[in-house]
Amino acid sequence: MMYSEKVIDHFSNPRNVGEIPDADGVGEVGNAKCGDIMKMYLKIVDDVIIDVKFRTFGCGAAVATSSIATEMILGKTVDEALQLTNKAVADALGGLPPVKMHCSLLAEEAVKAAILDYKKRRGLFIDDSLAVCEGCCDACYHKQDDEEVHEE
pTM (2 d.p.)? 0.82
Tell me: pLDDT of 143 over 60. no
11-56: pLDDT as tens digits = 999 999 999 999 999 999 997 777 899 999 999 999 999 999 999 9
Question: In CATH, what number is assigned to the domain containing residue 87?
Answer: 3.90.1010.10
- pLDDT at position 33: 77
Domain count, the chain: 1
Residue 105 within a domain: yes
Tell me: pLDDT of 141 over 50. no
130-139: pLDDT as tens digits = 555 544 444 3
List the domain range (segments joined by +) for residue 108: 5-145
Q: How far apart are CA 88 and CA 93, in angstroms?
A: 9
Residue 151 within a domain: no
Tell me: pLDDT of 115 over 90. yes
Residue 102 within a domain: yes
State the alpha helices, DSSP H only, in 15-140: 60-73, 78-81, 86-92, 101-121
Residue 93 within a domain: yes
56-82: pLDDT as tens digits = 999 999 999 999 999 999 999 999 999
Residue 152 within a domain: no
Residue 150 within a domain: no
**Interval 115-123 mean pLDDT:** 93
Of the pLDDT bands very low, low, confident and very high (cuts 50, 70, 90), residue 124 is: confident
Q: Which residue has the higher pLDDT, 31 or 4?
A: 4
- pLDDT at position 128: 56
| Cα dihedral 107, 97, 17, 8 in deg (nearest 10) | -160
Query: Is there a contact between 91 and 101 (Cβ–Cβ < 8 Å)?
Result: no
Residue 17 within a domain: yes
The catalytic residues are 34, 103
Q: How far apart are CA 129 and CA 74, in angstroms?
A: 20
Tell me: pLDDT of 150 over 50. no
Query: Is there a contact between 53 and 17 (Cβ–Cβ < 8 Å)?
Result: yes
